Structure 1
Amino acid sequence: MPIIERISCRDFPLEDEGVKVKDVLKLIEKTGFEEELFKVFDLESIKNEFIEVPGASTLVHAILNIENRLKKIDITAQLKDVKTVGFTDENQALLEIANIENEELLKLFRKDLIDFETTYSVKADYFNQLYDMNKYLSFLLNKEYRDIVNNNIDMLEEKNKENEDEKVFKTVIDNKKNRYVRAIVSKRYKDYNIPFSVFVTLIQLHSLNKNKNLSFSVSKFSLTDSEIRVEFKNEKEYDFFDKSKVSFSLVLTNDEIKRDAVKLKGLFSINFDDVNAYLNPNEGNTNIMSFKHGVKVDNVKQKLSSLGFDILEFVNGTLDDLKFVKRVNTSTTILEIQDRLIQKVDNARDKNFLPLKEEVKKRLLLKKVDNLFDLLSLVDKVDEVFSDEYIQAQDYWRYKVYQTLVKRGK
């Protein structure tokens, strides 16, 4: 569960035609990268410009709204200074960190010994990294064997009392002073957080608009305190067939609690009438561009500098693939593809997709399709099953659609 309720947006004010660079700069004020970013991206030369990405102002203000409601503080601590002092009713651990030197925390709580509730996957990460015991621990907690839990932890921590290994505990304090640890990372981890990733993406889209005539708008976004997904739709559409169009979106994803890369992926939709049938060509594993949390800022700039070329190469490659879809527009073949798609859903084992598997199958069985447009309309209806909490499942589904249509067409 996120610490702050998810914010999602699909409709944007007409007056939101973009955002000033000066307003976007607010995203990096607390990142620790501001000076370096000014130098690497030559921000001084564009600080008075306007980024023509409609919807971007709404996006930036939503991020700042969440960031201003939280204090995100990283604590570097030796493991010998971290103790388990209890568990919540939801079986989250309470980790007590000693010898805290962070001035903001010392001022806020007036002590250097503070306990934090684990959230997301931190409990599993902590107990597995130290003792390889999370599954056993969960079993004991579910059985309410608290006495065995306490005895085990006391003995293990006694063995750990000289452990000087250092970890970074990424903590969050909300406006009620509730305290959480949301990730444990190494000292090499660079905090390329949500504001940072949106900032560098908007700056690069601004460059692409000026220099490559590639225009984008924000079509939708969803974010919590620790993860974000933004779809930037390319303003150019491509003719498909029988008055249908193909459009391309650049999808930014960043999960602050994972030790994963910031990613920019491609997403396509075939559009006609009120139908938008989405296809994900890469299953979320192959990206147009990504950068890991260990790279330097100048390497981030270097990767982003080829974004225009990477986008065009990806678009052209996928459009070539989609030509094969036109070959399947016969009644018999379409029914085969519908059956193949149902079979792929039946065989799905993806853990994110499983909770919605039966509902997806139910919608696929609503009617027998007669042509490609019928099938695409059905795909659009299935897409409505996925709420923003099931983004990964939706990506999986969209890849299966692409796989079935394109690979079968080939």
Structure 2
Amino acid sequence: MVNLLDDLAWRGLLYQQTDAEGMEQLLNKEKISLYCGVDPTADSMHIGHIVPLLTLRRFQMHGHKPILLVGGATGMIGDPSGRSEERQLQTTEQIDLNVQGIKKQMEQIFDFQSENGAQMVNNRDWIGSMNVIEFLRDFGKLININYMLGKDSIASRLDTGLSFTEFAYTLIQGIDFNHLYDHFGCRVQVGGSDQWGNITTGLEVIRKTHDDNTKAYGITIPLVTKADGTKFGKSASGSIWLDAKKTSPYEFYQFWINTADSDVIKYLKIFTFLERVEIEALEVTVENEPHLRKAQITLAEEMTRLIHGQDALDQAIRISQALFSGDLKALTAEEMKDAFKDVPSVEMSKEDKSIVDFIVEAAVSPSKRQAREDVTNGAISINGEKITDVAYVVGGEDRLEDEFMIMRRGKKNYKMIKFV
């Protein structure tokens, strides 16, 4: 089997290690438990969240046991890392809903059934029962204020303001690592590069509450960026979520399909579980036949299958093929609504109208004369059906679910008509 740390380095997934030599010796000697935490600040993760989780999954594939910490307690406070202002605090009820949403997504990524099956924990189970005196007496004494002021996540906020609540966050996460070390035999924490300060605080808490033979380690993953230096994980419509209701499988698939040639091999290494030889073969296709977009197609298929399953991938491919061929009749009404949610739209009444009047009112063609020409020349279609009769009347049978219609002029000019 490929050496795990060598593979992580090749994929560009090792940014910082607290003790690289000790970590390598540990992994060569035994199978370990290790963890990564996610705060439930929303009811879904987005693709920026999953890089440390996918790295944890790679450890699991090499026989190690992942512990998935969902921060029911820390999520109520807010991590100051990477932020310029205080988080809006959420209610306990909302946090609980968020935890459930994230749990379902974890189950899609990890194996929970095998001998080294993933285990999910919630830090509210041990933090929630701790009173303020216990917190200050048992843990507050362990960490010096000057030590905490040296953390980037804290130092960067001193000028703009930082509450004691968020100031204490790094210590609470340190308590998490210590608890998992004691009760779950957890030896390693994995996190994004912005978590380095929190991870090292955890190691400091472990060091001060155990003897000198205690060994725990931390690894961080570099921030994923595009080749042009811009932020990864956003599309024109916003963040790319794992929840299909927030970002549909088709939109998810299209996000990866649209990856630039300069980024696609890097993303295949970071996000997929393809072997090195497969990725290197795809790298050759990017260089020699980029127009085929084999690497992008592979990336989109691997990621959509992982997060949404094979059925959702099949649907995303069917929508993509229908749009490419112009054969919208192959799509269901729901698939059409999904595929065209971001195209220009207009609201119209449900009144029956001649095709020429309808086209002009919908601003599909600029004038009645042009509308007649477009119809006669076969340039107009409704829901994938070409309309060539200028006497055609647009009516109820053209309204999908009695709510909307997709009209196309020419090959690529689509408009969604919403009926009110």
TM-score bucket of the superposed structures, by smaller chain: under 0.3
Task: Name the structure with the higher helix share.
Answer: 2
Give the alignment's TM-score, normalised by structure 2. 0.25
Task: Name the structure with the higher strand share.
Answer: 1
